[in-house]
Amino acid sequence: MHRLLLLGCLWLLAAPPASSIFQRPTGTPAPLRLQYLLEPLHPTVHTQRGATATLPCVLRALPRNYRVKWSKVEPANYRENIIIITNGLYHKNYGPLSPRVRLRHSHRYDASLTITDVALEDEGRYRCQLVNGLEDESVSLTLHLEGVVFPYQPSNGRYKFNYHEAKRACEQQDSRLATYQQLYKAWTEGLDWCNAGWILDGTVHYPIINSREPCGGRLLLPGVRTYGTRDKQKDRFDAFCFTSALQGQVYFIRGHLNFKEAGQACRNHGAAIAKVGQLYSAWKFSQLDRCDGGWLADGSVRYPITTPREHCGGLPDPGVRSFGFPSKEMRTYGTYCFVG
């Protein structure tokens, strides 16, 4: 009995303290604590197209011979594109963002990045990296644009776009291919669409609120359904486009106009016939609400509803309704114009 107690005491003396039993396995590096950079209080910066946005990056100390490098991670190819490099005294801008970026530099520890006239393609993940020999540190921030996602297909029907055609189609309609985060947010806000579409990273998805037979079956739960990564050249789907606030106004001209007359009516007012993305933006940000179908630049006829009512399509939810792509010779509709 005494011998057992002695062995037990020896084991307790040899055993590691309780806190060390659950230590990180040997070879797993501990997460690095930032020595020179401050963790951003808000890692996501919210803005709109046309605004000025600042991504914070502040140093707590200035090491010798340091540099700060700003870069942007592009979701389409996962590459990091350099935007600006500074050593605290001098700086150099790089890439397409070059004319619209500057360092805020409100004090000598401030390396925050300011982007003026924010564009749709500016949304995404940015990295502020302190380059200091072996002690490199970085913080990541996300620039988030408030906007709206809409499904888009051409006049000749569904599933006609390869990836590159989908990207170009969105850009032609004053928008860009949506990111997965933008599509997911749109789904949480009620986007329900049965046709699969390309998004910016080259994957294909469709958002479902109400499970039904033509859309994967009634037994599948609601969600953003995925086809995964597809061949950007060969595979064909629709597109999910994203647009943000306008620097201008969309308005309606009443009349019985064919497509050519609709474009001329806008030009007579010093405007241009509105694009699909511009109509969605006016609906989302300016609460444009009209029960009148009007021509748009792609030859489609649509109308925006913010207050659903029986005689305006009868659907219970707000949205941009579509009459599709009627004959361009038809004289039934007015036109939506855009003036910047």
Amino acid at 282: A
Rounded CA gap, 76 and 177, in Å? 10
At residue 68, what are phi and psi to the nearest 5 degrees?
-115, 130
Shared-domain flag, residues 217 and 313: no
Residues 279 and 303 in one domain: yes
pLDDT per residue, tens digit, the chain (340 aa), is 433 333 333 333 333 333 333 344 445 454 557 889 999 999 999 999 999 999 999 999 998 889 999 999 886 666 889 999 999 889 999 999 999 999 999 999 999 999 999 999 999 999 999 998 767 899 999 999 999 999 999 999 999 999 999 999 999 999 999 999 999 999 999 999 999 999 999 999 999 999 988 888 888 889 999 999 999 999 999 999 999 999 899 999 999 999 999 999 999 999 999 999 999 999 999 999 999 999 999 999 999 999 999 989 888 999 999 999 999 999 999 999 999 9
Verify that 52 and 105 share a domain, yes or no: yes
Which of these three, 216, 243, 270, is where a domain ends? 243
Domain annotation covers residue 24: no
Range of the domain at 202: 147-243
Return the CATH number at 67.
2.60.40.10
The residue from 243, 274, 302 where one domain ends is 243
Residue 62 CB contacts under 8 Å (≥ 6 apart), including other chains:
36, 88, 108, 109
Full DSSP string of 163-222: HHHHHHHHHHTT-EEPPHHHHHHHHHTT----S-EE-TTSEEEEEESS--GGGT-SSSPS
In this predicted structure, what is the pLDDT of residue 313? 86
The predicted pLDDT at position 41 comes to 92
**Single-letter amino acid, residue 53:** A
Q: Is residue 20 domain-resident? A: no
The pLDDT of residue 133 is: 77
Q: Are residues 251 and 208 in the same domain?
A: no
Last residue of some domain: 220, 243, 266?
243
Residue 327 placed within a domain: yes
pLDDT of the residue at 74: 81
Distance separating alpha carbons of residues 236 and 322, to the nearest angstrom: 22
> Is residue 198 one of the residues assigned to a domain?
yes
- pLDDT score for 77: 64
> Is 68 found in the same domain as 79?
yes
**Which pLDDT does position 125 carry in this prediction?**
94
What are the Cα distances from residue 255, in Å, to 181, 189, 251, 273?
A: 40, 34, 13, 14
- The CATH number of the domain holding residue 160 is 3.10.100.10
122 plus 97 within the same structural domain: yes
111 is a domain residue: yes
Q: Is residue 133 part of a domain?
A: yes
Residues 254 and 274 in one domain: yes
In a domain, 49, yes or no: yes
Identify whether 1 is part of a domain.
no
The dihedrals phi and psi of 105, each to the nearest 5 degrees, come to 50, 50
CB 262 within 8 A of CB 335: yes
- Do the beta carbons of residue 262 and residue 334 sit within 8 Å? yes
Q: Count Cβ atoms below 10 Å from residue 27 Cβ, excluding itself.
A: 5
- Predicted TM-score (pTM) of the model is 0.83
Number of domains the chain is built from? 3
One domain, residues 134 and 50? yes
